[in-house]
């Protein structure tokens, strides 16, 4: 019986992807690396250290360590979200929807825990989640299912009884690998990616999810 919902965070609950892009381009510029918006999208959904490692292997700068660049990006995006981060359309609606139906609610994000906690406090939604997990503490980040499985375990839920909400292909792959029913709400520029066919449901907004969609997922084999 589906009784649990687990959300991704960046790009799904908070409009942070543009801010991640700005922060990455600003920090990477300090090591002589220029990233276009198109290039930053290539690593959407990965852990920050994996993003930095990916580009460090490609550009091979030596003026700063990868750890220093990672820390500077996290500091920058945290400050930007606190200063100007806004909730995604339907955030409070979807949390209330599942809360009113007594669903166990978790969050499974690739972002570092300190950033997650800052975002939840900024949006004033920390009390909506019974479990909050960061992939930074797992051996593998998304698209590996580890963070989803850890969150389900913390909620005492079978993955087969979980819904997962994601906005990226990387996150969707992780949730599906965890054997969860997966709903994707991609960014507008990315909605036609054929890989989203793997999801159980694709929406343009969190506001489009309701009792009919829940029933469809509950009865879907």
Q: What is the pLDDT of residues 79-91, one digit of tens each?
A: 999 999 999 999 9
Within a 10 A sphere around the Cβ of 110, how many other Cβ atoms?
28
Residue 221: the pLDDT is 63
Residue 190: the pLDDT is 85
Average pLDDT, the chain: 94
SS3 category, 61: coil
User: Which residues carry out catalysis?
Assistant: 8, 10
Q: Where does the chain have alpha helices with state H?
A: 17-29, 37-41, 48-59, 66-84, 91-100, 113-123, 146-154, 169-177, 211-219
Residue 44: the pLDDT is 77
Distance CA 100, CA 147 (A): 25
Residue 188: the pLDDT is 86
Q: Are 163 and 144 in contact (CB under 8 A)?
A: no
Q: Are 109 and 116 in contact (CB under 8 A)?
A: yes
- Residue ranges of domains in the chain, CATH in brackets: 4-15+86-219 (3.40.50.1000), 17-84 (1.10.150.240)
Selected residue with higher pLDDT from 43 and 1: 1
Q: What is the pLDDT of residues 145-184, one digit of tens each?
A: 999 999 999 999 999 999 999 999 999 999 999 999 999 9
- What confidence tier does 208 reach under pLDDT thresholds 50, 70, 90? very high
β-sheet bridge partners, residue 162: 4
Residue 53: the pLDDT is 93
Q: Give the rounded percent of residues in the chain with a pLDDT score beyond 90.
A: 86
Looking at residue 88, what DSSP letter applies?
A: P
Average pLDDT for residues 2-11, to the nearest whole number?
97
């Amino acid at each position: 019986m589906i009784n649990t919902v687990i959300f991704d965070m960046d790009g799904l609950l908070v409009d942070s992807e543009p801010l991640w892009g700005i922060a990455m381009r600003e920090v990477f510029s300090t090591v002589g690396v220029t990233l276009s918006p198109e290039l930053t999208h290539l690593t959407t959904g990965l852990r920050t250290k994996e993003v930095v490692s990916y580009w460090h292997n490609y550009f091979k700068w030596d003026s700063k360590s990868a750890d220093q660049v990672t820390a500077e990006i996290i500091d920058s995006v945290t400050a930007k979200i606190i200063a100007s981060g806004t909730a995604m359309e339907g955030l409070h609606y979807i949390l209330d929807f599942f809360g009113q139906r007594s669903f166990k609610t978790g969050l499974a994000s690739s972002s570092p825990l300190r950033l997650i906690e800052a975002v939840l406090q900024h949006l004033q939604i920390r009390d909506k989640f019974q479990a909050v997990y960061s992939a930074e503490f797992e051996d593998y980040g998304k698209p590996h299912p580890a963070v989803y499985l850890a969150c389900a375990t913390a909620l005492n839920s079978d993955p087969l009884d979980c819904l997962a909400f994601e906005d990226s292909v990387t996150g969707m792959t992780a949730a599906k690998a965890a054997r969860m029913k997966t709903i994707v709400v991609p960014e507008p520029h990315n909605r036609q990616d054929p890989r989203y066919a793997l999801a159980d449901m694709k929406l343009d907004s969190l506001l489009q999810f309701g009792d009919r969609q829940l029933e469809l997922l509950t009865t879907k084999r």
